[in-house]
Structure formats: C-alpha cells, structure tokens
Amino acid sequence: MQSIEKAYQLAKEQYAAIGVDTDAVLERLRQVRISLQCWQGDDVSGFLFKDRALSGGIQVTGNYPGAAGNVSQLRQDLEKVLSLLPGAHKVNLHAIYADTDEKVDLDGLEPRHFSGWVEWAKEQGVGLDFNPTCFSHPMADSGFTISSPDEAVRSFWIRHCIASRKIGESFGKALGIPCVTNHWFPDGFKDTPIDRYGPRKRMQEALDQVFAEPIDPWYNLDAVESKVFGIGAESYTTGSNEFCLGYAVRNGKLCCLDAGHFHPTEVISDKISSVLLFTDQLLLHVSRPVRWDSDHVVVMDDELLHIMEALVRPGLLERTHIGLDFFDASINRIAAWVIGARNTRKALLRAMLEPADMLTRLEREGDYTARLALTEAYKSYPFGAVWDYFCLREEVPARETWLEEARRYEADVLSRR
C-alpha cells in the first residue's frame, strides 16, 4: 500500500513536469462509465428461452465450468466483477435476459419484465443499456430478421425492437442515466446475392418504423451496429458499415462501431473522428478481432490505445458511450470480464495522461521530430503507478491481486454450480 502511494507521488511529479495533473485525471477517469456486457457471464444464452442454440453468426467457444444459469447467478457474478473494477459502470442487457417467469415472446416484452434489473442497478449504482435480441430465435432461422422478405418475420422483429426501445426508456427514467439501446441484426447471405439493394431497403423501412415514435434522449438513445460478415453470412451483411453510418447520419441515431466488425486491417480508431463530425454521439463496442472472430477478451494492444487517444485528444470522450463486447468461455468468465474492463479503463488512463494540447501544437507547427520523440518517450512514463494508485483509491485490488479473488470466487461459487 505504502509503496503504491510512494510510487504515485514520484509519478505525479514526473507527469506534472509535462503539464499533466494526475489527480485531476483520476477524478475524470473514475466518472467515465464503461458498460459491461452481461452476456460474458453465460455465453450469450439468456434466460428467456431454455436451451436455444446461439445463432446469428456469432459463436462462443469453450466450456469453462461455472457459467451463470439464472438471473440471480448472473447478478452475483456481476457484483463480483464490479467489486474488482475501479470507476463507474453500466450493465448492458440483452432482451433474452428478462427477469420473469412469464411465458412471453420477444415481441411481447415490457419494462415490467426488467423491473428486477432496475432495482438491482439502483442498489449497485450502475446504469443500464439495452439490446433487442435479433438472433437465437425461430423467427431468425432464415438468416434474416428485419430485412426478411417475409412480412410476418419482419413485423415480428419490428415489434421486438419497438418494445426494446420502450424498455430502454424505462431504464433511463428509473435510473436517471440515459440508456443506449443498440440495434444489431445478423441478416445476411452465405453466398453471393443477386439483390444487394432489396434487403437494405427493407431494413431501412423497418428501422423507420422502429424509430417512428420519438423518445426523449435523456431516457433512451438508439444506436445501429454494423458488421462486415458473420459465420454463415460470409458474402453479404445487410447492416453493413455504409448502411448503418448512412442511416445514423440521416436519422440522428448513434452509430455503433464494434472493433471486431471490419476488415482485418481496418481500425475503428480512425473512424471515430469522422463519424462524430456527422453524428452527435457514438457507441463503441470495445472488442478484439482475431482472424474471423470479432469477440476476444480485450487486451491492451495498440488499437485499444489508439481508440482511447482518438477519444481523449480531440475531446470526443463526452460524446461517446463505451461498451464492451466479448464473450470467452475458455477461461474463467469473471476473469475475462475483469481483464477486458480493466484494460479498457487502463488504456483510457494512458490516453488521459498525455499532454494532448502540447502535442497538438507541435504537430500544427510541423515539428514532427518532437511529435515522434515525445510520444515514444511517454510510452515508458510510469502510468502503471498512476493506475495502481487509482485502484487503491477506488478500493479495488491493485495490480494482479484481483486474480486471487477471482480464484477464490471460482472455488467458493462457480465450481459448485
């Protein structure tokens, strides 16, 4: 403990010398809400339907023991995770995580089916985000949901998305923190389509119906998430990047950029500054692509750092909602959550510890030598000491000591499920 404080004092002096006030940075850092994807806890199964296979071109691999099997287990796991994370959070729910014994289908969901989550969120001091679940359902078996040529299929999903926005609105009202309701559709073709326009036109018209009723943005914000391809939909995805970006810009919606939803050399860190010139706010799904998979646990790689720099340097953080999106069942699920969430905030901290104004000025003056020299030098500045102190101050385990707690929880709780 004392060594963490001592190391922080030295780090603080070093950062002060380049004009960075570490105390102010930590105050700002703790207020940024990171939205935890509830689906990491049970491999995107949900509790509304029993034993439905995951569909929609996403896959969870691994069979690590201890997945949450019901709402209370998932909450217990999330509480454990929250106890190991510094800073403010939201919890991101999918419609299939409804807390109800009622036999209700996706298009019949109402805010009351989530009132248990709202009570829990109040107790935990977290906000809630929401997602319609447009997969793992017989109505999605054709590979198409709201862009289906079948009117009955399309209208089912339109009703589900409308219901989802109302649930989002109820979260925002009850918690005083706007809910971001993110609409992602797996719709696509395995093989080369004849008609690339028709499904997109149907999706556009369906979304117009979904969003027809205005909802106060203080309660609910709508996002549309794009994707380049999914498993089984390799050749064509209706909700492509151009589609979603175009839709969001024209209709005042949020664009959701998932780090794993683009071509392998394409990065979302370079998209943020453009997207936010044409939309008011942005939703991120912080994730890690590995070859064809878009959902590995987030590590502190270059792209994560670049994403955070793209938010912090030009002052775009306040207009961005940071959500996590990964699901790994091959390791302890609590650890997966904690590793990804801590890395995300740690990368944000590193970006906040930069003297951004000074670097921007140097660049404008054309001093690219200093730009490279300084950004390289800052890479070995003691940001880890600042992070450790932040954890200490937030009363969560510093460094890797959280792992012992995750292990103990595995022995006491997860392994007994």
Of 55 and 148, nearer to ligand RNT (C-beta) is 55
* Distance spanning both ends of the chain, measured CA to CA: 35
Q: Is 157 considered catalytic here?
A: no
Task: State the nearest-atom distance from the C-beta of 260 to Zn ion, in Å.
Answer: 7
Q: Does 288 contact ligand RNT by CB under 6 A?
A: no
Q: Is 261 considered catalytic here?
A: yes
Of 99 and 258, nearer to Zn ion (C-beta) is 258
Quick note: the x/- pattern for ligand RNT over 211-250, rule CB under 6 A, is --------------x-x-----------------------
Q: Which of 40, 45, 131, 238 binds ligand RNT (CB under 6 A)?
A: 131
C-beta separation of 288 from 259 below 8 A: yes
Compute the Cα dihedral for 233, 235, 239, 241 and give only its sign: positive
How many other CB atoms are there within 10 angstroms of residue 194's CB atom? 6
Of 58 and 82, nearer to ligand RNT (C-beta) is 58
C-beta separation of 90 from 78 below 8 A: no
Task: State the nearest-atom distance from the C-beta of 152 to ligand RNT, in Å.
Answer: 24
For residue 224 the two structure tokens come to 């549309």
How many chain residues interact with ligand RNT (CB under 6 A)?
11
Kind and range of the H or E element at 131? strand 127-131
Q: Is 195 considered catalytic here?
A: no
Q: Which of 129, 222, 258, 388 binds Zn ion (CB under 5 A)?
A: 258
Quick note: the x/- pattern for ligand RNT over 337-366, rule CB under 6 A, is ------------------------------
Compute the Cα dihedral for 192, 198, 201, 202 and give only its sign: negative
Q: Is 94 considered catalytic here?
A: no
C-beta separation of 399 from 335 below 8 A: no
Task: State the nearest-atom distance from the C-beta of 393 to ligand RNT, in Å.
Answer: 33
Q: Does 129 contact Zn ion by CB under 5 A?
A: no
> Residue ranges of the alpha helices (H) in 56-181?
71-83, 115-124, 151-175
Which residues between 134 and 193 bind ligand RNT (CB under 6 A)? 184
For residue 90 the two structure tokens come to 């939201």
Q: Is 325 considered catalytic here?
A: yes
Of 22 and 294, nearer to ligand RNT (C-beta) is 294
Dmax over CA atoms of the chain, in Å, equals 67
Which of these, 117, 41, 80, lies nearest to 329 by C-alpha position? 41
Q: Which of 169, 222, 325, 328 binds ligand RNT (CB under 6 A)?
A: 325
Task: State the nearest-atom distance from the C-beta of 92 to ligand RNT, in Å.
Answer: 8
d(CA 109, CA 132): 10
Q: Is 227 considered catalytic here?
A: yes
Q: Which of 12, 261, 271, 296 is catalytic?
A: 261
Q: Does 58 contact ligand RNT by CB under 6 A?
A: yes
Of 66 and 132, nearer to ligand RNT (C-beta) is 132
C-beta separation of 197 from 149 below 8 A: no
d(CA 388, CA 9): 12
Q: Which of 184, 337, 387, 402 is catalytic?
A: 184
Q: Is 346 considered catalytic here?
A: no
Report the b/e string of 340-356 with b at 16+ CB within 10 A.
bbbbbbbbbbbbbbbbb
Residues within the interface to ligand RNT (CB under 6 A) = 39, 44, 58, 131, 184, 225, 227, 258, 285, 294, 325
Known catalytic residues are: 184, 225, 227, 258, 261, 285, 293, 295, 325
